[in-house]
Amino acid sequence: MEKENQKLQASENDLLNKRLKLDYEEITPCLKEVTTVWEKMLTTPGRSKIKFDMEKMHSAVGQGVPRHHRGEIWKFLAEQYHLKHPFPSKQQPKDTPYKELLKQLTSQQHAILIDLGRTFPTHPYFSAQLGAGQLSLYNILKAYSLLDQEVGYCQGLSFVAGILLLHMGEEEAFNMLKFLMFDMGLRKQYRPDMIILQIQMYQLSRLLHDYHRDLYNHLEEHEIGPSLYAAPWFLTVFASQFPLGFVARVFDMIFLQGSEVIFKVALSLLGSHKPLILQHENLETIVDFIKSTLPNLGLVQMEKTISQVFVMDISKQLQAYEVEYHVLQEELIDSSPLSDNQRMDRLEKTNSSLRKQNLDLLEQLQVANGRIQSLEATIEKLLTSESKLKQATLALELERSALLQTVERLQGQTAELGGPEPGPAPPEPAGRRRPEPSPRQSTAPEPGSPPP
Amino acid sequence: MGWGDAEGMLWTRGLLWERVWNAVGNFLFKFLVIGSAGTGKSCLLHQFIENKFKQDSNHTIGVEFGSRVVNVGGKTVKLQIWDTAGQERFRRETYNSLAAWLTDARTLASPNIVVILCGNKKDLDLEREVTFLEASRFAQENELMFLETSALTGENVEEAFLKCARTILNKIDSGELDPERMGSGIQYGDASLRQLRQPRSAQAVAPQPCGC
């Protein structure tokens, strides 16, 4: 009896926790029809093996994601990604089980611990010191730091893990963190040299220049580069400053399209608040507006921002500006009147960054080679099975012609034996004629045949 | 502040870097707060700007800043304080975003920089790991000013910032520093400076690091 009570209590706690975790205002409230569409997809039998239509998923995400299914939908989107990309083009982590990782010790323990109380500090699920939320957060971050030794723990990651934890259980959240980092492309910005973050800041600045020139000029005039406001946007996927409903929508899109979404959201955010930003006339008030006021401007603006993101395509520019960044860095070294020491310093930095890139490329090459090998193996397998099938076809054809001959022979024999029988059935087309019915077959009388 | 702060983090080194802008009678000093993660940099800043302890705050990602206008020895000085993320890998990123004045400060100003060492979380006296004497000696050997502060109670926080400001102003007054003369070599202007200057004069004054 007591056990039963405890069980009930526990499940009640779970429910309470779930309500607590999902207690946020949705940005694109999901209509009943859309929820039904999602539910249908989620409950499709054998779902994890069926490739769903990309268009359909895209439009469903666009129309909204019901809060109560959100975690499941993220898992579903990840599942679909893996189905459609059976040969990952990006580096993959070792496949150490979560439970194994939890048993190990991390050198990042201190860094993780001091950030636990400083991650969603006012959210009821995370605010209790060493409460369920903080413990799960600690476990995930610790496990990740062990899984990915290069990144380890980087400030900002705790927010990403936190958002996942609000929507699913601990181990699932860990798996989804892995997915976002390795498959959706979030990982590179957290590496210890943080060069990718700098490149991202440059790319954002160039995108602003392309799409919102007046705003770009305004910010430039006050010497405000994206690194003064956008670093947390990228490193926490907006989670450290923006309302949860908004962040959840950004996550929806990242699960669908990858980390480029952050650029789109940033650009769309700045664009849709341009008139307000232009009203501010000095560095402090502009940055303060972007950091504190903009995240809380209300649902309508948020919805507008999100819906714009769905129609943007900036991947070409992003590529071009990354290349441009490297070229500029080189030119900077070549042209600037620097002392030998500074020159040396810069060259060393460039060198190490190039080495890093080289390693990355090597890694990509390895992955690609692996992929080629596995594709080649697949081809071989397919070829083998093709030739087997050809042989089978041949055998079947031989059998068929043998059977045809038999039929003909039997027909000849029938004719020799009895001549034309009274009331014969009309002849069937050649080759499809059945052999004479054996007596056993007559137990299932054909229509029209005389009763026994 | 969250769990983990009490654990061995008593000793904070917040370094305040500064440089000074002469804006025709008004000054703008820029301070940079650096130190390890979880030592209370953001809380020091918040206590100084808002006069209260910052409860329930996120850890700092990237760079934050705040400013406050103070009166030091009859002069109006605007202190613009840049607060940085503590984790080591962010340092380079931080430097880059502050490159406009920091690279410059580093190349021009190493002898001219005013630094104060703050031993923060003074209120956690029971968990103290570094004695006042040890820290004072360290500061003396490295020619740093030194104060023990508490962002929680506010003890010595204002004093730390004002002490820096006073030191800089004294150097200017004594002629050790000449903002006018030093204004000649630097190419770029500063947006905040232009702002500060606007009502008074349009005379171009370039930013300069200050001596100590």
- Inter-chain contact B1–A129, Cβ cutoff 8 Å? no
Sequence-separated (6 or more) residues with CB below 8 Å from residue A67: A22, A24, A26, A30, A248
Residue that is written with structure tokens 């940005």 in the block: A27
A348 touches chain B (CB under 8 A): no
Query: Greater confidence, A3 or A428?
Result: A3
Per-residue pLDDT averaged across A81-108, rounded? Answer: 89
Question: pLDDT grade, residue A443 (50/70/90)?
Answer: very low
Within 246-305 of A, beta carbons closer than 8 Å to B belong to 281-284, 287, 291
Cross-chain CB nearest to A228 (options B58, B63, B89): B63
In angstroms, the CA A125 to CA A70 distance is: 18
Q: Residue A303 burial (CB < 10 Å; 0-12/13-18/19+)?
A: middle
- Inter-chain contact A121–B80, Cβ cutoff 8 Å? no
Residue B143 pLDDT: 81
Q: Compute the nearest-CA separation of A216 from chain B (Å).
A: 15
A430 DSSP 8-state letter: T
A86 DSSP 8-state letter: S
Per-residue pLDDT averaged across A267-287, rounded? Answer: 94
The DSSP annotation for A292-358 comes to IIGGGS-HHHHHHHHHHHTT---HHHHHHHHHHHHHHHHHHHHHS---HHHHHHHHHHHHHHHHHHH
Q: Is the pLDDT of residue A159 over 50?
A: yes
Question: pLDDT grade, residue A429 (50/70/90)?
Answer: low
Q: Which residues of B touch A130 (CB under 8 A)?
A: 3
In angstroms, the CA B72 to CA B169 distance is: 8
Q: Is the pLDDT of residue A447 over 50?
A: no
Question: pLDDT grade, residue A5 (50/70/90)?
Answer: confident
- Inter-chain contact B3–A117, Cβ cutoff 8 Å? yes
Q: Which residues of A touch B80 (CB under 8 A)?
A: 284
Query: Greater confidence, A11 or B26?
Result: A11
Q: Is the pLDDT of residue A337 over 80?
A: no
For helices A157-165 and A244-257, the axis angle rounded to 10 degrees is 100
Question: pLDDT grade, residue A448 (50/70/90)?
Answer: very low
Contact A411, A421 (CB under 8 A): no
Which of A112, A134, A155 has the highest number of chain B CBs within 10 A, making it the mutation to test binding with B? Answer: A155
How many beta-carbon pairs below 8 A join chains A and B? 114
B36 touches chain A (CB under 8 A): no
Q: Is the pLDDT of residue A345 over 50?
A: yes
Least confident of A38-47, A414-423, B117-126: A414-423
CB atoms within 10 A of CB A224: 20
Residue A110 pLDDT: 94
Query: Greater confidence, B188 or A241?
Result: A241
B67 touches chain A (CB under 8 A): yes
Q: Is the pLDDT of residue A99 over 80?
A: yes
Q: Is the pLDDT of residue A450 over 50?
A: no
List the structure tokens of B106: 């580093």
A228 touches chain B (CB under 8 A): yes
Contact A287, B65 (CB under 8 A): yes
Residue A426 pLDDT: 53
Cross-chain CB nearest to A283 (options B7, B96, B191): B191
- Inter-chain contact A118–B2, Cβ cutoff 8 Å? yes
Q: Which residues of B touch A126 (CB under 8 A)?
A: none
| pLDDT digits 0-9 by tens, B129-152 | 889 999 999 889 888 899 999 999
Within 119-158 of A, beta carbons closer than 8 Å to B belong to 119-122, 127, 129-130, 134, 154-156, 158
Per-residue pLDDT averaged across A331-338, rounded? Answer: 70
**What ipTM does this complex have?**
0.76
Residue B75 pLDDT: 85
Q: What angle do CA A95, A101, A102 make, to 5 degrees?
A: 150
- Inter-chain contact A235–B61, Cβ cutoff 8 Å? yes
The three-state secondary structure class of B146 is: strand
Residue A421 pLDDT: 54
Q: Which residues of B touch A193 (CB under 8 A)?
A: 89, 92
Average pLDDT, chain A: 88
Q: Is the pLDDT of residue A91 over 90?
A: no
Residue A427 pLDDT: 52
A193 touches chain B (CB under 8 A): yes
Work out whether strand B63-72 and strand B75-84 pair parallel, antiparallel, or are unpaired: antiparallel
pTM of the entire structure?
Answer: 0.77
| pLDDT digits 0-9 by tens, B4-26 | 232 223 344 445 554 444 444 57
Least confident of A61-65, A296-300, A342-346: A342-346
- pLDDT < 70 positions in chain B: 1-25, 92-112, 177-212
B105 touches chain A (CB under 8 A): no
Per-residue pLDDT averaged across A83-97, rounded? Answer: 84
| pLDDT digits 0-9 by tens, A60-87 | 999 999 999 999 999 999 999 999 988 7
Q: Compute the nearest-CA separation of A133 from chain B (Å).
A: 13
- Inter-chain contact A117–B2, Cβ cutoff 8 Å? yes
In angstroms, the CA A134 to CA B57 distance is: 15
Residue B65 pLDDT: 87
In angstroms, the CA A385 to CA A378 distance is: 10
- Inter-chain contact B4–A134, Cβ cutoff 8 Å? no
Q: Compute the nearest-CA separation of A382 from chain B (Å).
A: 49
Contact B161, B79 (CB under 8 A): yes
Residue B51 pLDDT: 95
The three-state secondary structure class of B55 is: coil
